[in-house]
Amino acid sequence: MENIREFIFENKPTASCHASTVLPLADGRVVAAWFAGTKESADDVDILTSVRGENGWSEPVRVSADVKVPHWNPVLFEREDGKIMLFFKVGKKIPMWKTYFSLSDNGVDWTEPAELVPEDIGGGRGPVKNKPIRLRSGRVIAPASDERNTLWVCFVDISDDDCRTWKRMRTVPTKSLRGFYVPMIQPTLWQSEDGGVHMLTRTSRGRIYRSDSSDEGETWCMAYRTKLPNNNSGIDLVGAENGKLYLVCNPTLWVCFVDISDDDCRTWKRMRTVPTKSLRGFYVPMIQPTLWQSEDGGVHMLTRTSRGRIYRSDSSDEGETWCMAYRTKLPNNNSGIDLVGAENGKLYLVCNPVKKNWGSRSPLDLLVSEDGGKTFTRLLRLEDREGGEFSYPAITERDGILHITYTYDREHIAYRQIKL
């Protein structure tokens, strides 16, 4: 199996880039697109495209519907008439997204972007991340999702006139094994030999979910959990000419554990994974724990999660084993936290007090606990600015002085010194 690995560009045209899409053409060339700019969601983020030919990748070309609004999630697709179609989202935030498209004959020169569904706003119609598929009947189905109002739901848009007009289908129904809503976004599609259409989706439940349609995407069965792990990150799949399906994903779950050293960090022994489940009995994704030891010798951890809350676990044998992790009252936006046990017996925690998965990374607070971590109160607001990012803090203490560093807008590392 031939395996080529290369970069599309060597000299970065922008500071940041993300969310690529790729389309091989009949003549052997390959078109790729991605969004790029200062950073994700910045006003200067546009769509860039490049074509791989005999001499490698071409210089990236910029496609923009509005130079003052961030662009997102390009998707490439080839129409039956040979036109290359480039879908993308435009909007400051996801609830404000509109879907635009542009056409090209060669992947280099693009038409002026136009709205896919006129007057549409509120998350965007058409493909959200992954490519549409053309069924054997000629129908085109675009995998779509909506992230408004903190609910993640999947649906498909259907076109029976080669991507010129679109009809939105109903939301794919979803519930967990115990009957609760499962957040799902960014589906990827394929058609099986019997004509059925199927989707796999990204979720925040630690597993990829699946739904099936027996009427070419008009209706979908209740989505159900697969055995495939998912870390709440994007996936994509293609049905190849050889009849096989090829899926690209991160085959990982978010779990916490500790490494223990009894010889001053010279050798290490990994302990078992910290057990975790939600109040309703489901797996809770947890990463990046922070630790402290209490006066009675117990060891404790707080962890980042995707459940809108910081979780906690405790050990009574110096980290050898851990209790079932449980939810605290502390909010968490699925961003890093850090804690230090100070010489004065108090605990100091730095975090974003935002109760939303992938929520805002502003403000950033310094909290204090005087009862061994049972309760925390805000001691100081370190940063607070709408649209700012203040994240991934580190905190330590020496001689009664707290030392704190954190990411500041992904442009600086800020330092704070606080005398207790």
Structure confidence by residue, pLDDT tens digits, 117-165: 988 877 789 999 999 999 999 999 999 999 876 688 999 999 999 999 9
pLDDT for res 93? 86
> What does the alpha-carbon distance between residue 162 and residue 126 come to, in Å, rounded to a whole number?
13
> What does the alpha-carbon distance between residue 251 and residue 248 come to, in Å, rounded to a whole number?
9
Q: At 277, is the pLDDT very low, low, confident or very high (cuts 50, 70, 90)?
A: confident
Q: At 286, is the pLDDT very low, low, confident or very high (cuts 50, 70, 90)?
A: very high
Percent of the chain with pLDDT over 90: 81
387-402 burial, b for 16+ CB within 10 Å, e for fewer? eebbbbbbbebeeeeb
Structure confidence by residue, pLDDT tens digits, 215-236: 999 999 999 999 898 888 999 9
3-state secondary structure of 149: helix
Structure confidence by residue, pLDDT tens digits, 410-419: 889 999 999 9
If you compute the radius of gyration of the chain from its CA atoms, what whole number of angstroms results?
24
Percent of the chain with pLDDT over 70: 97
The contacts found for 221-230 with CB under 8 angstroms, 24 or more apart, are 221/173, 222/173, 222/174, 222/175, 223/154, 223/172, 223/173, 223/174, 223/175, 223/182, 223/184, 225/176, 225/177, 225/182, 226/200, 228/200, 229/253, 230/202, 230/203, 230/205, 230/206
3-state secondary structure of 94: helix
Average pLDDT, the chain: 93
Question: Running DSSP on this structure, what letter comes out for residue 45?
Answer: -
Residue 115, phi then psi, degrees to nearest 5: -70, 135
> What does the alpha-carbon distance between residue 198 and residue 196 come to, in Å, rounded to a whole number?
7
Residue 336 has pLDDT above 90, yes or no: yes
pLDDT for res 280? 62
Q: At 206, is the pLDDT very low, low, confident or very high (cuts 50, 70, 90)?
A: confident
Q: At 287, is the pLDDT very low, low, confident or very high (cuts 50, 70, 90)?
A: very high
Spell out the domains of the chain, with CATH numbers in brackets. 1-116 (2.120.10.10), 126-252 (2.120.10.10), 259-419 (2.120.10.10)
Among 27, 228, 24, 219, CA closest to 131: 24
Distances (CA, A) of 305 to 66, 276, 277, 310: 35, 11, 12, 6
pLDDT for res 380? 97
Which range among 63-72, 214-223, 373-382 shows the weakest confidence by mean pLDDT?
63-72
Residue 117, phi then psi, degrees to nearest 5: -125, 105
| Region 165-171 average pLDDT | 95
